[in-house]
């Protein structure tokens, strides 16, 4: 759910950048520490980030007939943890703006907050708690990826509602409107992303790439 | 490579100092956000498009191609602004013009972003961010892996379709992603071994030094930005 370049007013663009910045800075510090101890991981992490970028070129069927792409948010959060995902996600969003003109620089903060902070944290928390509550691995992965995807769109709807409140109903009505419009495509897409992530994790397990996703 | 990246690497403004291109593009981007959409955004859009087409000599077809996709997203976003959740479902807002202002602003801002993206390769910009060396390396590694992985994905998609794979099914997409991730990590591991075998301990930075900006051109760009802002105030 990229907000396009220039779509948000100045105050909102600056505000969301300020909200997202601490997460990215803290994630960056964690990542710098990891990379100082294990410099050999920087290429693997770079490849993983490139993989998340390339996932967006993977067309996914949506029940409404439209076609959309997975975000990779859930998979990334489960594999690397939310702090690292904040940094990798920011880099991916920056390159998407510069190489595809998808998203933008002034809306980078808002997009980072929805897709590289809120989505990964929700996905990770849901996945961890489902495992703790005794859910099967596939169920936990599905729930984490699907709800993480859903969280990004709920946050985006909130960001748009704050920027463009309804003339009569205010922010709440605008949120209901944006969430309602997005729900048509995003709810099936969240389910699709959840299923896709399960297929990916299962296939990776079958190949012996991962033994079992740690929770 | 993506279309934007190819033009940025081969374009006429590739060798110009980053400070000059950044001042022009980011200045226009800031003006797009600050100035009132009419006439400010229209002037910014015109200036950014003119700079890209006439200044950097980006082929018009390529510029339109790069502009079309974000413009379509902006149009969809603007459509969401002209409807409201009334008592009997979705209805048009009383003043549909409310959607025109953000749409104009976004179109102008996109043109400014394109001016930067079409004249400056992404690694040059990443380097200018002066990130900690570990993170700069990570960003550059990510960038370098992108294109190889995109090519691999396209080849895998073609192979899947050639075997009558269910293009568009979740299972097919999942198998593609699952086949791609180990390849990506394996490529990274081989590269790492290669670097280690050459006793590489430094950074992955391979960029040549950027030329120094010319004060005269910087001043000319500042005057141009002021002219756009002044023109917007005058027209209003």
Q: What is the pLDDT, as a whole number, of residue B99?
A: 84
* B196 contacts in chain A (CB < 8 Å): 40
Chain B nearest C-alpha distance from A133 (Å): 27
Nearby residues of A208 by Cβ (< 8 Å), 6 or more positions away = none
Mean pLDDT of A143-152: 92
- Whether residue A82 lies inside any domain: the answer is yes
Residue of A nearest to B110 (CA): A5
For the cut 70, the answer to whether the pLDDT of residue A136 exceeds it is yes
- Whether residue A184 lies inside any domain: the answer is yes
Residue A10 CB-density burial (10 A; 0-12 exposed, 13-18 middle, 19+ buried)? middle
Domains contained in chain A, number:
1
C-alpha span between A130 and A127 (Å, rounded)? 5
Strands B83-86 and B89-92: antiparallel
Sign of the alpha-carbon dihedral angle for A109, A114, A120, A125: positive
Chain B nearest C-alpha distance from A131 (Å): 22
Chain B nearest C-alpha distance from A181 (Å): 8
C-alpha span between A99 and A63 (Å, rounded)? 29
Mutate: best of B99, B146, B172, partner A, most A CBs <10 A: B146
- Whether residue A87 lies inside any domain: the answer is yes
C-alpha span between A80 and A48 (Å, rounded)? 9
C-alpha span between A162 and A99 (Å, rounded)? 29
- Whether residue A3 lies inside any domain: the answer is no
C-alpha span between B99 and B92 (Å, rounded)? 11
Residue B18 CB-density burial (10 A; 0-12 exposed, 13-18 middle, 19+ buried)? middle
Q: In this complex, do B84 and A36 lie within 8 Å of one another by their Cβ atoms?
A: no
Mean pLDDT of B84-103: 77
C-alpha span between B18 and B133 (Å, rounded)? 20
For the cut 60, the answer to whether the pLDDT of residue A64 exceeds it is no
Alpha helix (H) residue ranges in chain B: 3-10, 18-34, 42-50, 60-82, 100-119, 122-128, 133-162, 170-197, 215-235
Q: Give the range of the structural domain holding residue A136, as residue numbers without chain letter.
A: 10-206
Mutate: best of A47, A188, A205, partner B, most B CBs <10 A: A47
- Whether residue A213 lies inside any domain: the answer is no
Q: Alpha carbon of A17 to those of A23, A81, A111, A170: distances in Å? A: 10, 21, 9, 24
Other beta carbons within 10 Å of A154: 21
* A5 contacts in chain B (CB < 8 Å): 29, 70, 106, 109-110, 112-113
DSSP track, A10-68: HHHHHHHHHHHHHHHHHHHHHHHHHHHH-TTHHHHHHHHHHHHHHHTTS-EE-TTS-EE
- Whether residue A5 lies inside any domain: the answer is no
Q: What is the pLDDT, as a whole number, of residue B116?
A: 95
Mean pLDDT of B148-162: 88
Q: What is the pLDDT, as a whole number, of residue A215?
A: 44
CB proximity A61 to B under 8 Å: yes
Q: In this complex, which of B108, B146, B175 lies closest to A199 when CB atoms are compared? A: B175
* B153 contacts in chain A (CB < 8 Å): 54, 57-58
Q: Return the structure tokens found at B214.
A: 């010319």
Going by C-alpha positions, the residue among A132, A184, A135 that lies closest to residue A157 is A184
Q: Return the structure tokens found at A175.
A: 């949120």
Q: What is the pLDDT, as a whole number, of residue A65?
A: 42
Q: Which residues of B121-131 are buried (b: 16+ CB within 10 A; e: fewer)?
A: bbbbbbbeeeb
Domain residue limits, chain B: 3-121, 131-197
Mean pLDDT of A64-87: 77
Q: What is the pLDDT, as a whole number, of residue A196?
A: 85
CATH of the domain at A152: 1.10.1760.20
Pick the more confident residue, B127 or A71.
B127
- Whether residue A74 lies inside any domain: the answer is yes
Q: What is the pLDDT, as a whole number, of residue A56?
A: 73
Q: In this complex, which of B177, B181, B192 lies closest to A196 when CB atoms are compared? A: B177
Going by C-alpha positions, the residue among B14, B1, B6, B15 that lies closest to residue B119 is B14
Q: What is the pLDDT of residues B13-63, one digit of tens each?
A: 988 999 999 999 999 999 999 998 888 999 999 999 999 999 999 999 999
C-alpha span between B30 and B49 (Å, rounded)? 16
Going by C-alpha positions, the residue among A51, A12, A20 that lies closest to residue A159 is A12
ipTM over 0.85: yes
Give, as one character, the DSSP assignment of residue A116: I
Q: Answer whether A184's CB lies under 8 Å from A64's CB.
A: yes
pLDDT grade for B168, boundaries at 50, 70 and 90: low
Task: Report chain B's mean pLDDT, rounded to a whole number.
Answer: 87
Secondary element (H or E) of residue B37: none
Residue B199 CB-density burial (10 A; 0-12 exposed, 13-18 middle, 19+ buried)? exposed
- Whether residue A95 lies inside any domain: the answer is yes
Q: Return the structure tokens found at B191.
A: 């590269």
Chain A nearest C-alpha distance from B90 (Å): 8
Other beta carbons within 10 Å of A29: 14
Q: What is the pLDDT of residues B113-123, one digit of tens each?
A: 999 999 999 98
For the cut 60, the answer to whether the pLDDT of residue B131 exceeds it is yes
Mean pLDDT of B93-105: 84
Q: What is the pLDDT of residues A163-205, one digit of tens each?
A: 988 877 889 888 888 888 777 777 888 888 888 888 888 877 7
Residue of B nearest to A105 (CA): B113
């Amino acid at each position: 759910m990229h907000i396009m370049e220039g779509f948000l007013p100045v105050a909102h663009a600056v505000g969301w950048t300020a909200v997202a910045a601490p997460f990215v800075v803290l994630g960056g510090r964690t990542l710098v520490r990891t990379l100082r101890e294990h410099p050999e991981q920087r290429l693997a992490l770079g490849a993983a980030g490139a993989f998340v970028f390339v996932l967006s070129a993977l067309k996914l069927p949506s029940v409404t007939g439209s076609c959309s792409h997975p975000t990779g948010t859930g998979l990334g959060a489960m594999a690397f943890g939310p702090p690292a995902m904040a940094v990798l996600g920011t880099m991916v969003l920056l390159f998407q703006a510069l190489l595809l003109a998808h998203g933008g620089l002034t809306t980078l903060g808002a997009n980072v907050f929805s897709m590289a902070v809120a989505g990964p944290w929700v996905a990770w928390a849901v996945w961890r708690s489902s495992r703790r509550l005794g859910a099967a691995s596939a169920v936990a992965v599905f729930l984490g990826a699907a709800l993480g995807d859903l969280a990004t769109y709920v946050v985006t709807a909130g960001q748009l509602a704050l920027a463009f409140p309804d003339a009569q109903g205010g922010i709440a009505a605008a949120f209901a409107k944006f969430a309602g419009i997005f729900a048509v495509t995003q709810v099936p897409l969240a389910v699709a992303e959840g299923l896709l992530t399960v297929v990916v994790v299962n296939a990776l397990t079958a190949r012996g790439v991962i033994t079992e996703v740690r929770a | 490579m993506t279309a934007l990246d190819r033009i940025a690497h081969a374009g006429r403004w590739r060798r110009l100092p980053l400070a000059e291109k950044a001042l022009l593009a980011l200045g226009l981007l800031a003006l797009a956000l600050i100035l009132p959409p009419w006439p400010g955004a229209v002037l910014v859009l015109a200036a950014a498009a003119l700079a890209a087409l006439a200044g950097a000599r980006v082929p018009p077809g390529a510029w339109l191609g790069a502009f079309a996709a974000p413009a379509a997203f902006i149009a969809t976003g603007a459509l969401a602004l002209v409807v409201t959740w009334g008592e009997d479902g979705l209805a048009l807002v009383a003043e549909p013009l409310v959607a025109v202002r953000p749409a104009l602003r976004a179109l102008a801002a996109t043109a400014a972003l394109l001016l930067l993206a079409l004249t400056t390769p992404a690694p040059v910009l990443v380097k200018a961010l002066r990130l900690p060396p570990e993170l700069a390396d990570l960003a550059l590694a990510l960038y370098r892996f992108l294109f190889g992985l995109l090519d691999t994905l396209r080849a895998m998609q073609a192979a899947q379709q050639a075997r009558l794979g269910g293009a568009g099914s979740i299972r097919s997409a999942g198998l593609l992603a699952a086949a791609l991730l180990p390849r990506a990590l394996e490529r990274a591991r081989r590269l790492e071994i290669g670097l280690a075998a050459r006793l590489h301990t430094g950074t992955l930075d391979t960029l040549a030094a950027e030329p120094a900006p010319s004060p005269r051109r910087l001043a000319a760009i500042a005057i141009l930005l002021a002219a756009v802002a002044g023109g917007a105030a005058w027209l209003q």
